[in-house]
Amino acid sequence: MIAFVNIQAQRDAYREELEKAEKAVLDSGIYIGGPEVTALEAELSAYTGTNAVTCASGTDALTIALSALGVQPGDEVVVPDFTFIAPAECVARLGATPIFADIDPHTLQISPESVESLVGPLTRGIIAVNLFGQCAPYAELRQIGKSHGLWLLEDSAQAFGATQCGKQACTFGDMAITSFYPSKPLGCYGDGGAIFTANKELAQKARMLANHGSEERYLHKVAGMNSRLDALQAAVLRVKLAHLNAELKARKAIAERYNAFFANIEGLTPQQIADGNTSTYAQYTLLVDNRKDFVAALDQAGIPHCIHYPMPLHRQPCFAELAARYAENAADMASQKAVSLPMCAFTPIDEIIERLEKVF
């Protein structure tokens, strides 16, 4: 059976290194913090050229970053309408209001024009999501942020390792986050996340918030939270980080095979990768005019698929009281047309193309 993301094949490929690293942690007696977490943070900092602070998940990373940036009840934060719910959810959990910006219908990234049109007196910041693995349009977003005095938070949960004009993801916002959820391009064997910032004060604040608001044992400067990455997950991530660039190359080659196959088929277009961007291909996503028939053909061929995402955030029941201000938009179009296909460095692309050839 073809897997949507083949985490087992990846484990088999690095088994010796992983088991050695896992055993060393289990035998060390140090399970929270310690040398593996410190070493991972140094490696993540070196990879991105910024300061990395690990935590317990991408969602926690967003909450910590938003808190460090000073989000208060009553504030408005612009988020993309078409993405996983976490950015909007974290804004709402802090008592602020997510304002949903539309997307570009081709790249599926947050639209700077839409962001600009939504900025008002209560707007404090913008969360840009690097959707499906490529960076959002940061030149334009930074300009908007600068002209309105807004902070910019880069949600790179899906795009650790992507680049824009040669610059690493996780370096474009005042702060950035990523997720180490197992199926992410850099994933561990449980939940995990990280916060990134070039600003040392914000990094220190994030670290304090993630550790019960404490820098000194039993002295709590602010009400924080417990959000720590396990040493075991850090050890796993260190092994996988060493293979990440090779995996990103393999993902790109797989995406190119898909692109070449679908180029000859009417009624569908792959997500466009913007000029200057490289993608991690966290998802390989197509926009398909007749999704029902397309999905039926994939089922017939035994090719797994997912719909990322079936509903724009402004239509989610939890945001019902905000929905009235939004008209039908490109996020609606994407939610009706998007289909994601199997993608990871170990995806058996030859077999998938053979199966596709039988049904298209």
Ligand X SMILES: Cc1ncc(COP(=O)(O)O)c(C=O)c1O
Residues that bind ligand X in the complex, under the rule CB under 6 A = 57-59, 83-84, 86-87, 129, 155, 157-158, 179, 181, 191, 193
Residues in the chain: 360
Cβ-based nearer residue to ligand X, 197 or 356: 197
If 0-12 CB within 10 Å is exposed, 13-18 middle and 19+ buried, where does residue 144 land?
middle
Report helix angle 86-93 to 58-68, nearest 10.
50
62 vs 349 by CB, closer to ligand X: 62
The stretches of the chain forming alpha helices (DSSP H) are 7-13, 15-28, 35-48, 58-68, 86-93, 112-118, 138-148, 200-210, 231-262, 291-301, 330-337, 349-359
| Cβ 203 to ligand X shortest distance, Å | 19
Q: How far is CA 346 from CA 190, 240, 279, in A?
A: 20, 14, 17
Please state the closest distance from residue 302 (CB atom) to ligand X, in A: 26
Beta carbon nearer to ligand X, 169 or 349: 169
Shorter beta-carbon distance to ligand X: residue 173 or 294:
173
Pair 65, 175: CB distance under 8 Å: yes
Nearest residue to ligand X, scored by beta-carbon proximity: 58
> Taking the complex as a whole, how short is the minimal distance between the CB of residue 356 and ligand X, in angstroms?
26
Dist CA 317 CA 303 (whole Å): 31
Nearer to ligand X, 58 or 145 (CB): 58
Cβ proximity to ligand X, 83 vs 197, nearer residue: 83
The alpha helices in 194-230, defined as continuous H runs, are: 200-210
Q: How far is the CB of 173 from ligand X (least distance, A)?
A: 13
Shortest distance (Å) from residue 140 CB to ligand X: 19
Q: Which residues of 252-282 are buried (b: 16+ CB within 10 A; e: fewer)?
A: bebbeebeeebeeeeebbbbebbeebbbbbb
| Smallest separation, CB 136 to ligand X (Å) | 11
